[in-house]
Each structure stands twice: as structure tokens, then as C-alpha cells.
Amino acid sequence: MIEVREWEAVQGGVVRVPDPERLVHLQFRRFAGCPVCNLHLRTIVARHDEIRARGITEVVVFHSSAAELLPHVRDLPFAVIGDPEKRLYAEFGVESAPRALLDPRAWGAIVRGLARDLVPAIRGRRPLPTPSGGRLGLPADFLIAPDGRLIAEKRGVHADDQWSVDELLAAAT
């Protein structure tokens, strides 16, 4: 059971987990501006209306401060939580490991993410990544019912190992 708690979102406002009326997809990502995380979150943004229509609220946690995160996430349509001390990571058992970057299954996403983000960052159109808390974080996904039951979870084994939107929707059925 996930006990009720409230967190302040980087973009403002308070997020309650569990949500008394909706499922919560609690995502643990890496650091502010993480190219792999950015690719993944763009797929969530593209299908956000579909996710909301299925009764799911997105909440994304990064191991960066609110100040580091805000330039990267201000346009996201869901709450982002900064956890620079990694307290929530420890509480939910979300790990860091060299395999985050060393696993060949992550390399394609790393290259695609860097190709998407690096040139705009160098030209000053996108903030540079801020890997405070390290580059070796592993992703994790939790689907939490309104009563606090953990319905499903996925703990990534490399940097690009998280639920797709289709996998999230299937878990919510």
C-alpha cells in the first residue's frame, strides 16, 4: 500500500498520491534534461489526452532540484516533482547502476536523444542537461490505485527501459 502524501510540483501546485479519484502513473526518471527521458516523455505528451481519458494521472519524479528542472519541464501537461536528495527513489527502491548507460539496449535512445537535444542546447534554444544526482539512474514506473494499492510496476534495467504508453494503458485495464 502506498500511503497518502502530497508533493509540490515544480510547475506549481500540489500533487496528491494516491489520487482519490484516478489512477496515478508515478514515473521515476533521471536528471533534468536527460535526453533519454526527454524522448520518453514526448511519447507521454503526444498521447496525454488518451492517458487522461483512461482515468490516469501522470506524476514524474526526477533526481534534480526544482530550479534545475523548471526550464526543461515547464511545458509538460503533468506534474513534475524534484527529488534532489533521492528520498523518494530510496523509498520506492529505485536504483542507480552503471548498466543504465552500459547496456547496449539503451544506446539507440541515447544517440536519438542526444541528436534531438544537443544542437538546440549548443545554440542556446534548449537548456543543457543538468546531471546532478548522477547519470546512472534507472527508470521505474508504478501504477497506483485511488485506495493506494500498487496495481503494477516496472523497474528498468537500463536507461531506456520504461513502460510505453501502450504498456501503461494495458496495465490500467
Asked whether the predicted pLDDT for residue 118 surpasses 80, the reply is no
Model pLDDT, residue 107: 86
How many domains does one find in the chain? 1
Model pLDDT, residue 48: 98
What percentage of the chain reaches a pLDDT higher than 90? 70
Mean pLDDT of 10-23: 97
Instruction: Report pLDDT digits (tens) over 141-168.
Output: 999 999 999 999 999 999 999 999 999 9
Asked whether the predicted pLDDT for residue 128 surpasses 90, the reply is no
Residue 73 CB neighbours (<10 A) = 24
Domain boundaries, position 97 = 5-171
User: How does residue 80 score in pLDDT terms, banded at 50, 70 and 90?
Assistant: very high
Q: Compute the residue count for the chain.
A: 173
Model pLDDT, residue 126: 75
Model pLDDT, residue 21: 96
- The enclosing domain of 100 has a CATH number of 3.40.30.10
